[in-house]
Amino acid sequence: MATGSAQLDATAKPPCLRVAGDWTLVHYARLEQAIAAISLPLASDTTVDLSQLGTLDTAGASLLVNLLGAGRLADLAREAPGLAAARRALLQTVGTALDDYRVPAKKVRRGNAVIEVLARIGRTMEAVGHQQRRLLGFVGLTLETLARTIGRPRRWRGTALLAHLEQTGMDAVPIVVLLTFMVGAVVAFLGSTVLADFGATIYTVDLVGFSFLREFGVLLTAILMAGRTASAFTAQIGSMKANEEIDAIRALGLDPMELLVLPRVLALLAALPMLSFLAMIAGLVGGGLVCALVLDIPPVMFISLLKSDIGVRHFLVGIAKAPVFAFLIAVIGCLEGFKVTGSAESVGAHTTSSVVQSIFVVILIDAVAALFYMEMGW
């Protein structure tokens, strides 16, 4: 394998550049030294002799482009008629690529901290707006799929629905009941401590009843479901997305919305109201236990006060929010699962995002509902 060379004969009229040997990556260092010995750029009247050129690859072509200049490559057909068409095409392709390349400009960091903070806030708000548009679109797609399948019982996924109902409902009963029981006891204890200064400890019963029937029962249950069920939905669908199982479902002619989303949404729609009812009962039991042990209010009197002071409408006001919370939690969990890109890191990131979004939406809707109920006098 002959090492490439480049010699400039300045005594010839006109001057002639003779290129010979192999111009390949193996000889790159020596060829660079040979080019450095030639004064560049070449004179416009310098001719080029490529008749002795041996093997040529992209590394050697880039060196020839630097030696000849990108502007002379178009004239190779005239200046070097004996050059093979493949080598001429390689030189012209490399020359075009090097001529189009531009060194990326370095980003200059602005020193104004206020502008950087405002820019970051703007990017965050833009991302939030984009996320909300996607969520609204996914809600519409879910409702459209539900309307399309509700009248076609053959397309109902009964087995999947029951499996998810057990996972989201039955399996969550212990943690929901235990948490709300303890919160009910804490609310009763704190209420009795404050109301004792006014001689109104008897109203601890009303405090526990109002708080759990209207707010705490459904709100605590929804937050638990956001952390437990939304994350599970995202992890399940995200793992399927990462393993390309959803693409396989589409290849089989099945609808992922109908197969994966609807059973989860319907299961949580059925489970959350029932869990909220159990949470209300558990909270009242916890509050009643503290009243019996600390305030000497027997269970019979506790129940009697609840019946006389708290109407059924307070229970209805609280339980009415459960289906809304359930739908939003399930939709957010499924949407984040579909957004997984294919790695374990993406699954974890979107699982975290689904929990945060679900809790935020639940608290936001609950606050709006509380203001609405207050204005309506309910």
Nearest residue to 329 (alpha-carbon basis) of 168, 160, 184: 168
Section 14-25 average pLDDT: 80
CA 269 – CA 147 distance, rounded (Å)? 16
Query: Measured between alpha carbons, how far is 276 from 90 in angstroms, rounded to an integer?
Result: 72
> Which pLDDT value is given to residue 37?
78
Q: Could you tell me the two tokens for 302?
A: 């506790």
Q: Give the pLDDT of residue 374.
A: 86
Structure confidence at residue 107 (pLDDT): 61
Q: CB neighbours of 68 closer than 8 A, spacing ≥ 6?
A: 17, 42, 48
Burial 122-159 (b: 16+ CB within 10 A, else e): eeeeeeeeebeeebeebeeebeebeeebeeeeeeebee
Which amino acid belongs to residue 119?
A
Check if the beta carbon of residue 160 is closer than 8 Å to that of residue 265. Answer: no
Give yes or no for residue 103 having a pLDDT over 80. Answer: no
122 vs 43, higher pLDDT = 122
Express as a percent the part of the chain with pLDDT over 70.
92
Q: Are 328 and 358 in contact (CB under 8 A)?
A: yes
Q: What is the pLDDT of residue 36?
A: 79
- Beta-bridge partners for 20: 5, 52
What average pLDDT does this structure show over 121-140?
Answer: 89
Judge whether residue 73 has pLDDT over 70: no
For the chain, what is the mean pLDDT?
Answer: 85
Separation between Cα atoms, residue 140 and residue 304, nearest integer Å? 46
pLDDT digits (tens, 9 = 90+) for 262-296: 999 999 999 999 999 999 999 999 999 998 888 88
Cβ density class 39-51: b for 16+ within 10 Å, e for less: eeebeeebebbbe
Give the pLDDT confidence of 220-274 residue by residue, as tens digits. Answer: 999 999 988 999 999 999 888 888 888 898 888 888 888 899 999 999 999 999 9
Three-class DSSP category at 60? helix
Across 86-111, average pLDDT: 70
Domains of the chain in sequence order: 5-100 (3.30.750), 132-376 (no CATH)
DSSP 217-256: HHHHHHHHHIIIIIHHHHHHHHHHHHTTHHHHHHHTT--H
Burial class of residue 76 in the structure, from the number of CB atoms within 10 Å of its CB (0-12 exposed, 13-18 middle, 19+ buried): buried
Handedness of CA 350, 351, 354, 355 (dihedral sign): negative
Instruction: Give me the residues paired with residue 16 across strands.
Output: 9, 47
Give which of 351, 362, 98, 105 is closest to 220, Cα–Cα.
362
